[in-house]
Amino acid sequence: MADAEEKFKHMLSRQSKTLAAAVTEYRKRYGREPPRGFGDWWKFAQENNVRLVDEFDAIDEDLAPFWNMSGVEFRRRTVQVTELPSIDLVRIVNGKVEGTSIDKSGSERGHRALGFMSLLEKFQDKLPDMQFAINSKAEGRILVPWEHRQFPNMTLQDSSGGITSMVGSDFTSDWKGQGSVWAAYRRTCPPEAEARRLYSSYRNPNAENVKVFFGSAPAPGDEFTFVPSVEDSIDYCSYPWAHSSQGHFFSDWRTIPVLYPVLSPAKASGFLDIRIPSHYYFTQHPRYTYGFNAHGDEPHDVDDLEVPWEEKVGVVFWRGADTGGGSTPPGYASNYQRHRFLHMTHESAARNRTIVHADPSSTNDFITAEVPARQLNDDVMDVAFVSTTGGYPGGEEALRKGHRFASPVPLGQHWAYKYLLDLDGMGYSGRFLALLSSESAVIKSTVWREYMSDWLQPWLHYIPLSSSYAEVYNIHAYFSGPSPSTLAAANLTTTHPIQSLDGDQRLQRIARAGRQWRKTIGRTVDMEAYVYRLCLEYARLWADDRDTMNFVL
């Protein structure tokens, strides 16, 4: 936590103070001149008190593959990819943004494209004519085989033959039994990787090696090994059998095996989508907006909704649907991220957990206790599904037998808890920024990277949780002290709570830092600044003569 705070302070302090300094920093980072319009962008950032003016490496990372593509090819592919299902087309014409082709039917209803359009409104007149392909799904879409990324000449470079010349005439919106996300993903791995060996990529020859496969029994020691960040530490190319622990590998939506410029709200490792802010973060929705206001255009101010820290309940809280992945192929839902956590924290959990906690007889010492998981769950967990989407092995009866269900809880009532858990669903979690606003401490586990991932500092703004979840009990023990069942297992009796190293104050500090980040760096105008900068870089790729699209100070 101390390192995290120092790292974030250093990042804030090193930000450019002048346009000239920002240009110098840009050249240093990316080895080229800033894009045309950079001066206007700088003015926008200064007028809106954007604090992180140099931290846009995510844009450079996402656009890097397209520098090998000509302007005419980039333009053609942008329009062409919108012929595929669930990809909308947005364009800027004569300084005005408009939706050219937005499908408002179905569950998506064009919300992601419409949200992106709203982020352009303040500076649309500063942008040249261009078009954007917007992914209407939460899942990533672009998975290009390794050979075609390393040796672009192996890929058909001229898309003038149409979309079928690129993706094939048999391309469908779903897999229809002709593959899966994992089958496409493993082709993004190097030829020598384990994932490219067909048999071992589906079955683990060392299935008991729980250090590389996050099943229900984490390796000894995992219970009290905290992770430095939420970034996915599993190399699925090297440990392909671990893919069954993440639901995004089982999405029913077919991925695209050709490099197309598709803008998406998040992407997992290996995907080549271009990240943009999620519409859930800046539009009102009762399930995703902190301070949702059903009677106004703007949400209520966060300070008006605050629950005093002393009144918050000190347990880990989560409610949600049993989403987490599709059914291609079927039968893996029990391993999906939400199912694994709720199964681990169910009242029928049979194993013991090793809990490390402060020794009440010593100031700085810690002791351990083996505590029955079912008792720990009763003490420190309040997590439950509120609905089911089907597809669980054995049906809904089997799902309900091993996973807790409860009535839905309005988002505004989540703020009554000190610990708010954030887990991936079908894709990224759209509730994350709302949870940060609550001045409760967010515990987050994810395999997705978003536009703002580099702007957040784990262990300062939120608590990162590994994909195994094993350390969650000791996270609670560190901040809130041993639970009643832990004290009983350690043969300790005390009438006073045992706090380790002022844990509750440290927890509150994380909660406050998360809210402060949301109010100063996670604002809608910060998202606008990100998209503005992205558009300038995108416009340069759109041009035939990219050198003419440089910024001259």
Range 15-21 average pLDDT: 98
- Predicted local confidence at residue 222, as pLDDT: 72
User: Looking at the domain assignment, is residue 8 inside a domain?
Assistant: no
Share of the chain above pLDDT 90, in %: 77
**Model pLDDT, residue 69:** 92
Residue 34 lies in a domain: no
Same domain membership, residue 251 and residue 368? no
Q: Which of 253, 243, 260 has its CA nearest to residue 203?
A: 243
Structural domain includes residue 467: yes
Same domain, 218 and 315: no
pLDDT at 209: 42
> Are 218 and 314 in the same domain?
no
Report the DSSP beta bridge partners of residue 319: 384
**Is residue 187 located within the same domain as residue 74?**
yes
Tell me, yes or no, whether 313 and 243 share the same domain: no
Q: Could you tell me which residue, 222 or 118, shows the higher pLDDT? A: 118
Are 339 and 432 in the same domain?
yes
Domain-located, residue 365: yes
- Whether residues 260 and 299 fall in one domain: no
Residue 461: which domain range? 288-523
302 and 335 belong to one structural domain: yes
What b/e string do you get for 72-93 counting C-beta neighbours within 10 Å, with b at 16 or more?
ebbbbbbbbbbebebbbbbbbe
In sequence order, the 6+-apart residues with CB closer than 8 A to the CB of 359 are 365, 366, 367
- Residues whose CB is less than 8 angstroms from the CB of residue 179 and which lie 6 or more positions away in sequence, other chains included: 254
| Same-domain pairing of 442 and 386 | yes
Tell me, what CATH number does 485's domain have? 3.40.50
Assigned domain for 4 exists: no
pLDDT averaged over every residue in the chain = 90
- Of 124-128, 201-205, 238-242, 487-491, the one with minimum mean pLDDT is 201-205
How many domains does one find in the chain? Answer: 2
Same domain, 358 and 319: yes
Residue 107 shares a structural domain with residue 246: yes
The residue count of the chain comes to 553
pLDDT at residue 265, as a whole number: 97
Half-sphere exposure of 308 (CA within 13 A, CB side): 2
Give the C-alpha separation, 528 to 55, whole Å.
14
Confidence check: pLDDT of 459 > 60: yes
Give the pLDDT band (50/70/90) at residue 138.
very high
The whole-angstrom separation of Cα 212 and Cα 190 is: 19
d(CA 244, CA 182): 9
Q: What is the pLDDT of residues 254-279, one digit of tens each?
A: 999 999 999 999 999 999 999 999 99
Q: Is residue 40 part of a domain?
A: no
pLDDT of residue 232: 58
How far from chain centre, in Å, is Cα 157?
32
Q: What is the pLDDT of residues 326-350, one digit of tens each?
A: 999 999 999 999 999 999 999 999 8
Which pLDDT tens digit goes with each residue over 497-550? 555 558 999 999 999 999 999 999 999 999 999 999 999 999 999 999 999 999
Looking at the fold, whether 241 and 346 belong to one and the same domain comes out as: no
Evaluate whether residue 45 is within a structural domain.
Answer: no
pLDDT value, residue 381: 98
Residue 479 confidence (pLDDT) above 70: yes
Q: Is residue 501 within 8 Å of 362, Cβ to Cβ? A: no
How many Å apart are CA 347 and CA 310, to the nearest integer?
28
pLDDT tens digits, 212-256: 344 444 555 677 789 999 875 688 999 998 899 999 999 999 999
4 — pLDDT class (breaks 50, 70, 90): very high
Residue 139 counted as domain residue: yes
Q: Choose among 109, 472, 138: nearest CA to 323.
A: 138
